[in-house]
Amino acid sequence: MTKTQRQHRIAEMLEHETISTAAQLVGRLQAEGVAATQATVTRDLHELGSIKVRDDQGVRRLVLPTVTKMSAPPLDHLRRMMTEWVVSVEGSVNLVVLHTPPGCAHVVASALDRSVLPDVLGSVAGDDTVLVIARDERCGRRLVSQFRQLAALPEGKQGRGA
């Protein structure tokens, strides 16, 4: 496992489990077959910017103060990016395609990913196209409508240049 993969796994563990020490993390990683020393995990925690806090039950735990669901940017940021850069929105079952001018798709995808919309599993950006994967077919239809509204596009318009 690479350092990046290990740190990603540590971040997932901290998000979903109550972990108070680097030693606990070493044990959890070893249980998953990942060899890491306590010194390595401590460095990983430092690089990830982890801090110790007391949760709602008063238990001390390690957390990462990164952009999380609780601190997601406001929907207004996504609206500004979509209004400025999205020229059309099309959908097919659980896939939504956003078209932008050349070189702008990554800006929209970044705002979309950071917005943490519950119906969005993720997005992939090309040069002028963002592919958005919805949780299911109902979410896909809902996202098409929501994205058109955020981009200030007419509901019935589809296709490039719409």
- Tell whether the model's pLDDT for residue 4 goes beyond 50: yes
User: d(Cα 58, Cα 66) in Å, to the nearest integer?
Assistant: 21
User: d(Cα 98, Cα 58) in Å, to the nearest integer?
Assistant: 44
User: d(Cα 99, Cα 110) in Å, to the nearest integer?
Assistant: 14
* Per-residue pLDDT tens digits for 46-102: 988 899 888 778 889 999 875 444 444 567 888 989 999 999 999 999 999 999 999
Between 81 and 158, whose confidence is greater? 81
Same-domain check for residues 30 and 94: no
DSSP-derived pairing of the beta strands 129-134 and 120-125 = antiparallel
Same-domain check for residues 49 and 101: no
pTM of the model: 0.56
Domain carrying residue 105? 75-150
Looking at residues 113-140, what average pLDDT do you find?
91
Per the structure, the count of domains in the chain is 2
Confidence of residue 159 (pLDDT cuts 50, 70, 90): very low
Between 155 and 97, whose confidence is greater? 97
CATH of the domain at 43: 1.10.10.10
95 falls within a domain? yes
